Structure 1
């Protein structure tokens, strides 16, 4: 009996100007979508120039992180720049509250929280020889929370330069957000999300994915940022990476997405989180009391 090879998985592609409801519906169905033209060339040029300055100041010594597992996961060929909200004016002004990203947060996260927030934002600059990461789920950062029937996190990887499968484009496993926790993908179920600069892959925190192996002599630079439900603790400590002296100077929308807003669940017969003197910190900031 001749066995027909399984068809390779695919990721649906949209343009940033396409209907936000259609993008969200497909992402919730498949676990991931590609969205073209999220960032324009002017923004890319300005942001990369900022990032180049930070990387130029990094010590040439081997990079280590909070524990050996994380150090091994990232590998020695990958340069990281985390805490973008506190380091990049371009990020704060043109990416953090980007209308295309906020539209997806409204559709994917808002139904399950009173307010959503930035979870993590960093640049991953993966050099030649960077090994393929372990396939993982980003929402594994909350291991003590039982598996939920709704998304905890909306994540993105935005190409800041050439982003091809040979350079280690992000590997995505469509549909894996519906799998049992211990199921591993077959090769035909994994898709390399090749992107042009400014394009992005949008995916749920429960979707299996990994950074691919960089088999070229070029660096592959991408910006990972994710947003999560406002009642979860964030992966990046945004209160320190974006300290209050900086936050006071920001528009209220940016202050809120960085987690300084009250998470008010009173309307759904709940309580509230993040109050200061029983008030919304955003109001106290605007009044000069914080």
Structure 2
């Protein structure tokens, strides 16, 4: 059984990428600096205070999956400069995207970025593979559809519901079920992150404390897949115009030109790159 490896924030990116390729998951300590974490939490506080638990998904299975005691904040690029500048554009995400996803696409996108605040009484989430939101048959044509992370915004302990992850499970047959001794608990201080591939089994743990456990799930996917979060409707065009070009691209507002790779010319407006039209205030 593979162990859950830990790396410092200043570790060589190549070592982190190699460990994820081998084990399917790692922890990076202080993924966010204390200052970034504190600023982001301060931006989130009023947003979460205004939310009720599990607010109105039209699919009962989705509500059950997240749990009745969970508050969500989505569309983070619309609300937080810290999210855009320090998290969405994090250099490690760029390295993972270039290594695991670019071989199968012209570019990759943010699939979903949302904060999940799990309250006391939240139960164990079922172990699952994030990339199963798309047909499993895709796995026969490319090795990776997605990579993801959970960033601890409060301390993650076994008692508060730290993410459970199964190292090595990205190499298993789809039907293989994890034994209890194969499941690792990603205990880590606030600001750290557990990173994993889309095929790696994982799930939130039960919150047995009287405090909330706040974390952020981030994932990136192949650019020609439909994303879980409709980022183009989550962020206003006026807000998008203020963002760095790479952030605009990751949010799906650009053009996915994969013609030379056989992927098609996707996301055009009037046969042009929407980002050029946005910059010219033609949209």
Question: Into which bin does the TM-score normalised by the smaller protein fall?
Answer: over 0.9
Alpha-carbon shift at residue 16 of structure 1 (Å): 2.3
Q: 1:31-90: per-residue Cα shift (whole Å, max 9, x none)?
A: 111111110111111111111101111247x74322111111111211111221122222
**What is the SS of the residue equivalent to 1:261?**
coil
| Residue from 88, 110, 117 that aligns with 1:118 | 110
CA-to-partner distance for each residue in 1:12-46, whole Å, 9 max, x for gaps?
11122222122112111111111111101111111
Q: Which residue of 1 aligns with 2:42?
A: 49
Does residue 29 of the first structure (1) align with residue 30 of the second (2)?
no
Cα distance change, pair 259–63 in 1 and its aligned pair in 2 (3 A): closer
SS at 1:166's partner residue? coil
Q: Distance in 2 between matches of 1:55 and 1:245?
A: 24
Q: Which residue of 2 aligns with 1:135?
A: 127
Q: For residues 157 and 192 of structure 1, what CA distance do their matches in structure 2 show?
A: 13
For residue 61 of structure 2, what is the aligned residue in structure 1? 69
Name which of structure 1's ranges 229-238 and 212-221 shifts more when overlaid on structure 2.
Answer: 212-221
The runs of at least 4 consecutive aligned structure 1 residues that moved more than 3 Å come to: none
Structure whose alpha-carbon radius of gyration is higher: 1
Instruction: Provide the residue aligned with 1:108 in structure 2.
Output: 100
**Deviation (angstroms), 1:270:** 4.6
Identify if the C-alpha distance between structure 1 residues 218 and 261 changes in structure 2 by more than 3 Å, giving closer, same or farther: same
1:3 aligns to what?
none
* Residue 240 (structure 1) aligned with residue 203 (structure 2): no
**Distance in 2 between the 1:184 and 1:90 partners?**
38
Q: Where does residue 81 of structure 2 map in the other structure?
A: 89
| Aligned-partner SS, 2:252 | helix
Match of 1:43, SS?
helix
Q: Which residue is 1:226 aligned to?
A: 219
Q: CA deviation at 1:268?
A: 2.8
Give TM-score, length-normalised by structure 2: 0.94
Distance 1:201 1:282, change over 3 A: same
In the alignment, which of 161, 167, 172 is matched to residue 154 of structure 2?
161
Q: Distance in 2 between matches of 1:159 and 1:50?
A: 15
Cα displacement (A) at 1:193: 0.5
Structure 2: distance between partners of 1:89 and 1:183: 41
Alpha-carbon offset, residue 143 of structure 1: 2.8
CA deviations over 1:122-181 (Å, ceiling 9, x no partner): 111111111000111111111364324411111000011111111110000111111111
Structure 1 length-normalised TM: 0.92
Unaligned runs of 5+ in 2: none
**Shift in Å, 1:269:** 4.9
Task: Number of aligned residue pairs: give it.
Answer: 282
In the alignment, structure 1 residue 78 sits paired with structure 2 residue 70: yes
State which drifts further: 75-84 or 222-231: 75-84
> Does residue 257 of the first structure (1) align with residue 250 of the second (2)?
yes
Q: 1:181 to 1:250 in 2, by over 3 A?
A: same
CA RMSD of aligned residues (A): 1.6
